[in-house]
Structure 1
Amino acid sequence: MSDARSGYRLGIALVMAAAIAWSTAPFFTRLLPIDSWTILFWRGLFGGSLILVFLTLAQGQVGLRDLITMGRGGWLVASLSTLAMVAFIPALQVTSATNVAVIIATQPFVAAAMAWAWFREAAPLRTLVAALAAFCGVAITVGNAQAASDVRGIALACLMVLAVSAMTVAIRRYKQTSMVVAAALSNFLGSVVSFPFAHDIVNVTGAEIFILAMFGFFQVAMGLTFFVLGSRLLPSGQASLIATLETPLMPFWIWLAFRELPTSRALVGGALVMSAVVADVVIGESRARSHR
């Protein structure tokens, strides 16, 4: 039981770290005046390379051999992750950020439903309630946007949510597969898919290359690696719920770097999301302690 509690706590810490890393995406994007496909290409290249470096340092040649011999579980996770990454940026281009954010907020529900359909993993009632509260918080945060909806952008955002939810469930289904290797592969696949559409690959400046490297190393590599590792230790619905901390943290980095104050709606919505996550984690930890 002690080992189970330690794994549960580690899973929470890793997924929270992933949310913090992922939340820096608007900061890096704001610094890059280039097309999104070029960003995806370089970000994936740098992110995948860093994951391979970590893998080599941690496992040596065994880790690299896993990349070559990866089974269908790893390829499934890598493909789903790539699909989510490729759908995300174009969705932001053709529809409002409000539409995308609200759709993404439904991801814990989708992941929990997929987990139940795939291997009958029932989400605790507290997680479902907390997911509903988190959705309300995100809706409050972005609900004041006035931009009109775009069908293609909404479809891409829905595709991203489906891909991330399926990836979350697949990570728990194929626990014996090296998912860190899958994370590296997904970044490289993202670069391959983006290459035909990227127009500024050879025109980026030295400063932009540095920013792209930091984007790939921190936001992509660390975020995806932490989430892959943490999701193996938590129920799928809860892992997705904790990852929603990414949304209220995004305005913080923009304020820190550009002194743009978040709106009162963003503060209220962010507080609701964080409260939902903290409540779910605290209650889960309390119940785990009572069953020792």
Structure 2
Amino acid sequence: MQSRRDYQLGILFVTLSAVAWSLAGYFTRLIPLDSFTLLAWRGIFGAASLLLVLILFKGRDWWREFTGMGKPELAYISLTVAGMIMFITSLGNTSVAHGAVIYATIPFLAAGLGWFFLGEIPRRNAVIASMIAIAGVILMVGFGSDGGLLGDLLAFGMTCCMALSIILMRKNPQMSAMGAACIGAILSSAICWPLGAPLDVTNIQLFQLALFGITNSAMGLAFFALGSKRLPAIETALIGALDTPLAPLWVWLAFNEQPGLNTVIGGGIVFAAVIFHVVTSQRRATAVTA
């Protein structure tokens, strides 16, 4: 049986990954560059930061993270790169609102894939919390008339890649996730590099891009890799939904962009759903160990 401490660490790490990933909107607003240039540099700085973390944790054996890769690691790299390409392409073919609503289906996707591949039967509280969180996201962004079928399909493909990554980490907890994430970041950067203008950035922008890569890419991937192997798939996806309400919060605090009433209410619903799930899970764990 999974220890309570291990489970709590999983919640903490996945929460931190959601916080790190939610900063993407802040950095995108801060640095006035096109998406491909942003992602090209984010991949480079993210990969360098992940490599540094590997060296600090693994010492002289850090290189084994790359030489011992098998099918799970190759699959993780493929999902990372494919998800990035579909995400970027979807932004030009559908609205951000549509993409956010589609991504909100990830707890249900993760639950179905977790049941199919891992035999994990979702807890009732996790399912209820996921439905509440999705309702909150729908309220935040709504269904506008500015979407497009191709873009919506690409956004759904990106969501499937993320859900499959969760299952992959859960099924293979010993995989070299950090090394795979590092290679995925480099490949993503290589794909975006010729599509942007990465050599036209200023020194200040380069510093900001380094912070972007360290926090949003390296920290997000590292905490996700550490946490997703400790939690059921649906719970990883549910806590990861904190990304949606946190993203406009940072932009509001930094740039005074006032969120709409729907955003405030919907974000509050998502927060409440995650807190409900965490509290009820801890009470359940306490009752079992008592």
Q: TM-score range by the shorter chain?
A: over 0.9
Letter in 2 for 1:267: V
**Cα shift at 1:46:** 0.5
Match of 2:91 in 1: 92
Which residue in the other structure is 1:41 paired with? 40
Task: Give 1:93 shift.
Answer: 2.8
How far is 1:102 from its partner? Answer: 0.2
Letter aligned with residue 276 of structure 1: A
Q: Does 1:59 align with 2:63?
A: no
- 2:207 is aligned to 210
CA drift of 1:117 comes to 1.1
Once the two structures are TM-superposed, the CA of residue 225 in structure 1 deviates from its matched residue by 0.8
State the one-letter code of the partner of 2:253.
L
Corresponding letter in the other structure for 2:80: S
Q: CA deviation at 1:124?
A: 0.7
Task: Note if contact 2:47-2:185 (Cα within 8 Å) is conserved in structure 1.
Answer: yes
Instruction: Give the match's secondary structure for 1:233.
Output: coil
Question: Aligned-residue CA RMSD in angstroms?
Answer: 1.4
Q: Distance in 2 between matches of 1:104 and 1:185?
A: 24
Determine the structure 2 residue equivalent to 1:231. 228
The equivalent of 1:290 in structure 2 is 287
Taking the aligned partners of 1:60 and 1:93, their CA distance within structure 2 comes to: 43
Aligned to 2:25: 26
Residues 40 and 86 in structure 1, CA contact (< 8 A), matched pair in contact too: no
What is the match of residue 76 of structure 1? Answer: 75
Asked if 1 retains the 8 angstrom alpha-carbon contact of 2:24 and 2:216, the reply is yes
Match of 1:254 in 2: 251
Q: Distance in 1 between matches of 2:77 and 2:279?
A: 32
Q: Which residue identity lines up with residue 163 of structure 1 in the other structure?
A: C
- State the distance in 1 between where 2:81 and 2:137 align: 25
Of residues 149, 153, 156, the one that matches 1:155 is 153
The normalised TM-score by structure 1 is 0.95
Q: Deviations over 1:95-148 (max 9, x none)?
A: 1110000000001110111111112111111111110100000000111x6451
Q: Which is worse superposed, 21-30 or 72-81?
A: 72-81
Q: Distance in 2 between matches of 1:35 and 1:147?
A: 25
**Alpha-carbon displacement from aligned partner over 1:143-202 (angstroms, at most 9, x marks no partner):** 1x645111221111011100000000000111111212222121112112223423x021
Does 1:176 pair with 2:174?
Answer: yes
Tell me which amino acid in the other structure corresponds to 1:187. Answer: A
Q: Secondary structure at the match of 1:154?
A: helix
In 2, Cα distance between the equivalents of 1:82 and 1:280? 31
Give the match's secondary structure for 2:63: helix
Moved more, 202-211 or 239-248: 202-211
Counterpart-to-counterpart distance in 2, 1:177 and 1:260 = 41
Name the aligned partner's letter for residue 187 of structure 2: L
Aligned length: 289
- Give the whole-Å Cα distance in 2 for the aligned partners of 1:126 and 1:146: 31
Structure 1 stretches of at least 4 aligned residues deviating more than 3 Å after TM superposition? none
Q: Deviations over 1:191-233 (max 9, x none)?
A: 12223423x0211111221111111110111011101110010
| Aligned amino acid, residue 168 of structure 1 | I
Task: Determine if contact 1:18/1:227 at 8 Å carries over to the other structure.
Answer: yes
List gaps (5 residues or longer) in structure 1: none
Contact 1:110–1:165 (Cα < 8 Å) also in 2: yes
Q: 1:180 touches 1:229 (CA, 8 Å); kept in 2?
A: no
Identity between Structure 1 and Structure 2 (%): 38
2:195 paired residue number: 197
Equivalent-residue separation in structure 2 for 1:43 and 1:90 (angstroms): 17
Q: How far apart, CA to CA, are the structure 1 residues paired with 2:250 and 2:222? A: 21
The one-letter amino acid paired with 2:243 is: E
